[in-house]
Structure 1
């Protein structure tokens, strides 16, 4: 019988599924989670208190030849980490980086879009990024939905339009107006559905 789980801070569908030995795709696409999909649109962004239905485990039988080694891979494992680096509105391309998540280290260069992309464990909560002689501590899975003020502020900070998530309301309105102007929207500082959609699109989640 399907069970329900109440999302906590830092949870996403992938981490919840991993903790319960389920496929993230199967959990996200479960009919019981239809309203959750409509409200959140992305399995990577949940709000604490969201209810996620965990479907029953499926038992699959796969014919295999004896005397051989067979490899099975669970869909959605590992999870993907994506981070785009910008400076003064332009992507930081071909910049060496070092990303440490637990006991796993990824090293490389950003691509032509300033993107860092690699696989990470579904339950990862923190990462350390070294780039350009600076070190950053990244909290994974803590981004709130764009429909919340916390999610709105966090995306504006990450995109460089807002200095701090605790900024005053006037500063928030000005940041929204600057974002709207840069992305071809009416720069009135009012957060409507078009602004939220464009902000989600620009941020990537």
Structure 2
């Protein structure tokens, strides 16, 4: 059996969207690199980390909102479908766009690892590359496995040109167009 890729997907994008629409509320589906993925249900520490980041964004950039679980059209030619844990965009950017929005106005995608076996492939590689291919300026990965924040930025030809990691507790500068500073000491409280 040939593995699925973006060139030979498991299903057509339209069929995936219909499947995702009919999935029970307890399941979140994504379509990454031609494969249907089940997104893990977040635990309490995951939720606390996201809420911490939402507050940081609201305090420093009140004209923007960090939208939880907003579906995005990602990858080359917008054939992939992802639900970042957080999507930073202008306050009413997603109004009227439906379940799978265009990423052109998105400033940052955020993923918080969940400790499941697919984290390395999905959050650290496939989603990173999908967000870069969609032209999202910044991808922030909050990695609970090794207690780091990694900022990927400057997408170019489907890859982020620059990446830098910091351990929890350090001060992290998120570059423009986001332009916020994160004091990350609090994340140590939520590390597992």
TM-score (normalised: structure 1): 0.30
Structure possessing the higher relative contact order (Cα contacts under 8 Å, 6 or more residues apart): 1
Higher CA-based Rg: 1
> What TM-score comes out, normalization by structure 2 length?
0.31
